[in-house]
Amino acid sequence: MANKLFTNLVIFDGSGKKPYVGEVLVQGNRIKTVSRGSNKINREGADVVDADGATLMPGMINCHSHIGYPDSEGLTDIGDLPPEEHILNARANAGTVLDHGFTSVVSAACAKPRLDIVLRNEINAGLSPGPRMRAASPQLIGTGGNGDARQLHMHHQSFEMICDGPVEMRRTVRELIREGVDLIKISNSGDTLGMWPNGQSGYETMAEDEVAAAAEVAHSRGKWLAAHARATGSIELCLKYGIQIIHHATFATTKLLDKLEEKKSKHWVCPAVGILYVCAYEADDWEMLGCDTAMISNVEAELQTAHITMQKMLKRGIRILPFGDYGFAFNPHGADARELEHMVNLLGFKPIETLVAATKWGGEAFAMGGSVEVGEIKAGYLADMLLVDGDPTKDLTLLQDRDNILMVMKDGQYHRSLTRRRASGRRAAAAE
């Protein structure tokens, strides 16, 4: 395979530096050289790709992905889907997210025990298009937890596996690790959207011995954990038992922020506020059932708390990651990049901080303690790169439109090769 040399481009390298003019050489599946300014890379033997002044950036990394959620309206629609249809749906979703510029994902729960595992293996074998994947378990919950859709007289399935007590938790976690998950997902707090009115976001829904049992087994096998943890006590248990990825973390008190800051090299936080935003402000547009007035005011209050909490975390240098909870009819796959705009408008991030979180920090989480190889345009890193029509550091909404993503490269190979810019013939013109 010939080397590929990208020229006439502006580089946002993911590190947080301002975009700069430069060139990038890809050799095999890795970035070989990155040059800056007028320094030219040797063109010999390379396919030269003139990017027409577009911006080259690392592929985005979603660390709260639910590729196995089928863009359904309700929770039981997910469970009702038979495994055969479900895997085909998940396979299509994997293609969709890669098409929209997501080259790596860390799953935050799949919907059936082997769904993520099979899809990850298929993608790794080159048999299906999709992002690099870390495969998760379904959400492990206790009875009445987030996703328990059963009725006393009838069974219903959603996206959950129910484990009551440490014995069931140990057995389930062992079983899922045997099947091949990369990480275990527990849901140890309520959720105003999923459990209204009987298990709101501020409630703890799992006992300490259950959380401890999940962590004990996962850690003993070198696996990571992620938790749906909005409530104060739930976040506290994530810190106590070393749960690396804390989803939402809305109601973190000052005491917990102190602890999180102390251990900030070991944890990532994914607020995933887009789904709350839809319920609060777009429920009618999407005909979202169940978003009544009382629920909406609860969700709006939660959004305000999330803003305050995330601002405090950001000041303390805690790594907060965008994306999450796309995979519902009202928050579908392919719309994930809306979360970038929410990070700025709802949580007070700067656009460039948001993009660093979407790339470099995501790459650090994706590494799961191993060597970091994605998330930056950097010599030696895997060649997962996008070309964007315009400067996303100035306008994050560009990334919401697939047509603005002119090229998607994963592992040095084109998933989508370069299409022309809408206004072509431009020169790269970022300030040096």
Nearer residue to Zn ion within complex by CB, 122 or 325 = 325
* Span from 43-51, 321-329, 335-343, 422-430 in contact with Zn ion (CB under 5 A): 321-329
374: Cα separation from own chain's centroid: 14
User: Which residue's Cβ lies closest to Zn ion?
Assistant: 325
Query: Does 321 interact with Zn ion (rule: CB under 5 A)?
Result: no
Nearer residue to Zn ion within complex by CB, 204 or 325 = 325
* Span from 50-58, 102-110, 298-306, 312-320 in contact with Zn ion (CB under 5 A): 102-110
Nearer residue to Zn ion within complex by CB, 11 or 225 = 225
Query: Does 181 interact with Zn ion (rule: CB under 5 A)?
Result: no
Sole binder of Zn ion in the list 210, 325, 341, 364 (CB under 5 A): 325
Q: Cβ of residue 230: shortest distance to Zn ion, in angstroms?
A: 11
Query: Does 249 interact with Zn ion (rule: CB under 5 A)?
Result: no
Q: Cβ of residue 265: shortest distance to Zn ion, in angstroms?
A: 24
**Considering only residues 206-245, where is the footprint of Zn ion by CB under 5 A?**
none
Nearer residue to Zn ion within complex by CB, 231 or 398 = 231
**Considering only residues 371-390, where is the footprint of Zn ion by CB under 5 A?**
none
Q: Cβ of residue 324: shortest distance to Zn ion, in angstroms?
A: 6
Nearer residue to Zn ion within complex by CB, 21 or 249 = 249
Nearer residue to Zn ion within complex by CB, 247 or 378 = 247
* Span from 10-18, 103-111, 310-318, 385-393 in contact with Zn ion (CB under 5 A): 103-111
* Span from 27-35, 156-164, 286-294, 320-328 in contact with Zn ion (CB under 5 A): 320-328
Q: Cβ of residue 200: shortest distance to Zn ion, in angstroms?
A: 16
CA dist 140 to 105, 111, 198, 376, Å? 20, 11, 18, 33
Nearer residue to Zn ion within complex by CB, 108 or 133 = 108
Show the binding pattern over residues 267-306: x = contacts Zn ion (CB under 5 A), - = does not. Answer: ----------------------------------------
Number of residues in contact with Zn ion, rule: CB under 5 A? Answer: 2
Query: Does 108 interact with Zn ion (rule: CB under 5 A)?
Result: yes
Contact residues for Zn ion, defined by CB under 5 A: 108, 325
